[in-house]
Structures are given as C-alpha cells and as structure tokens.
Amino acid sequence: MDVIYLVVHCSESPKGRDDSAADIHRWHKQRGWDGIGYHKVIRRDGSKENGRPEFWVGAHVQGSNTVSLGVCLIGTAHFTKEQYQSLYEVMMDWTTRYPYAHVVGHYDKDKGKTCPNFDVVKWWQQAKDNEGVV
C-alpha cells in the first residue's frame, strides 16, 4: 500500500471510559465491517494495541482508506499525557517507514468531522520539535 496519510482518530468513548481495541473490533463487526477499521489503538494509560495489520487496507477515513493508516486515541477530546507520548512514538515509527506520508487528523480528510478534536498538524510539529510530550 502506498501510504500518503497517517490519520489520527478518537473513539468518542464517553466520560473517560477505557475502551480497548477488542471493544472497537466488536463495534465495527456489528456495523458489518471486517472487524476493527484502525491499525493502532492507544488506551487511556498510553498502552498501544494493534488493530488491522498494516498490509490490510483500513476502514477509518472515507475516500482515503487505500492510501492511509489510522490510529485511534481512546477518549473524546481530552487525552492523557501518556496517550500523546504513545501517539508520538507511533508516528515516529510510521513516518520513518513511510517518509512521504503526512500526519493529519480525520477532520483534514473529511470536512464533516471534528475527530479527533485537536489540531493534529500543529501537535505533530510541536511534538517533533520537543521529541515527545508537548
């Protein structure tokens, strides 16, 4: 797959509920999909879980699934320091292996969305400058 976009999402889990990749897998199967649509999930404590393998086209961003990978932060808008640190690590890994890919938010690729509810492009620039937590 030619990866052009590395897309950040959130799970919209209410009130800090600590959903997992397995929960999302179940929800997405209930929608009739082939299981979890994201490639990575980052829990509230910062732990990283695998979703789809990277060679398998995701189901997370309308119109760009065949040229992107997706990572989902558990939560709605206020993510933990540990989550941002793990997101940085995932993006460092992905941008090393896919050097031509752009780090974006879901809303950048689908104008009807606000997901993941923070400025991903700005965050990534600052995270790179600071080598992690911003």
Q: How far is the CB of 107 from Zn ion (least distance, A)?
A: 8
Interacting positions 4-33 with Zn ion (CB under 5 A): 9
Say whether residue 87 binds Zn ion (CB under 5 A). no
Is 102 a known active-site residue?
no
Which residues have a Cβ under 8 Å from the Cβ of 5 and sit 6 or more positions away? 61, 64, 67, 68, 69, 101, 102, 104, 109
Do residues 6 and 101 lie in contact, with contact meaning Cβ atoms separated by under 8 Å? Answer: yes
Q: How far is the CB of 125 from Zn ion (least distance, A)?
A: 20
Task: Give 38 or 98: the residue with its C-beta nearer to Zn ion.
Answer: 38
Task: Give 17 or 130: the residue with its C-beta nearer to Zn ion.
Answer: 17
Q: Could you identify the residue written with the tokens 């997101």?
A: 87
User: How far is it, in rounded angstroms, from Cα 50 to Cα 57?
Assistant: 14
How many Cβ atoms from other residues are within 10 Å of residue 27's Cβ? 14
Say whether residue 40 binds Zn ion (CB under 5 A). no
Is 100 a known active-site residue?
no
| Candidate list 73, 106, 120, 123; residue touching Zn ion; CB under 5 A | 106
Q: Record the tokens describing residue 125, joined without a space.
A: 């620039």
Residues that bind Zn ion (CB under 5 A): 9, 106, 115
Residue positions annotated with a catalytic role: 9, 38, 106, 113, 115
